[in-house]
Amino acid sequence: MKQVNTNVKKHNFCLDDPTINSLYSHFAKVVKTEIKKKKFILAVSGGPDSLALAYLARIYVAQTNSQLEAIIIDHAIRKSSAAECRLTAKNLSRIEVKNTILKVKKKILTNIQKQARDERYKLMNAFCKKRKANYLLTAHHLDDQVENFYIRLSRGSGLNGLSSMKTIEKNQGNISLVRPLLNCKKKDLEYLAKKIFSQYVKDPSNNNDQFLRVRIRKLKKQLSKEGLDQDRLIKTIANLNSAKEALDFYVDHAFKKNIRFLRSKTEISKQLFTKEPFEIIYRTITELIKKKSRKEYPPRSKGIENLITAIQRKDFKSVTLGGFVFSNHLNKVIMIKEIRKKIRI
């Protein structure tokens, strides 16, 4: 595999093209702020969005002399997946981006999109750790934000779900997930991919009405005619983000004020449950369970609501949730890890 050549003058990166230049400005602004010159890994599916991401990253590496590598995941769901991965590797090699194909070993039969995502991130997190790279870049874009909003709205999500994806956040593997294209439109990424690459992977599942995301994508034009166009939705998402940031500020304050981590237990002041509004209590306990369990997702909302209600009762003794036992102790609630006895048969 060829090493990345960092001689900018040797390459024509099409930055004289206004669309590509604008995309690169968005990309570079995020990466310079969050990553600077540290090594990063790209998640590349082989479609136009991720190939555009790879091309923009290639320009950045040439200009900053930083390091990158790309991961291609073979989910082995379609018969054509191995050939698609080889095509993607060929495209990346053409722009001198070092790449590795990783194959999912687990056979995925049900809940395909979620299972594939989970297995994909397991492989990518492990790869990042092996390469000692703390940043994983994905090609999520503006259109994804809108589609996610509709999907979560259909599921009755609250403020967390309806607000947008973050530009950077820690994932379950404690790797920083960076999304430098969140302000970029899909059509512009497709324009770049078509201009630079002669062919790329076209995922047939993008036209399969079995998936909710596909059905929503097809409804977007009709919804736009009714006033729910992309620009208005992005403004709504931005307003929700502002509200979430304000809530996060108060949750952080409540967390620091009422929670104390000790060696074998966690102490929660009962003032959290008597002095704070329910939403602050709910979010603080949710963050606590996520932090202690090191899991990306907390227990279901109903379980957390029941936990809070139980603790607020005068006759509260103890309750178990998310692998932890919460018990009453004077003016505190003590949280310890649940010890499950193995039953021998």
Q: What are phi and psi of 321, to 5 degrees?
A: -160, 135
What pLDDT, on a 0 to 100 scale, did the predictor assign at position 182?
95
Q: Are 220 and 226 in contact (CB under 8 A)?
A: no
What pLDDT, on a 0 to 100 scale, did the predictor assign at position 9?
40
Is 0.85 topped by the overall pTM? no
In order of their start, the domains of the chain are 8-228 (3.40.50.620), 247-337 (3.30.465)
What pLDDT, on a 0 to 100 scale, did the predictor assign at position 222?
86
With tokens 């995925």, the residue in question is 108
Angle, to 10 degrees, between the axis of helix 142-154 and the axis of helix 186-196? 140
What pLDDT, on a 0 to 100 scale, did the predictor assign at position 211?
83
- Tell me which residues of the chain have a pLDDT lower than 70: 1-12, 109, 172-173, 341-345
**β-bridge mates for residue 135, sequence order:** 176
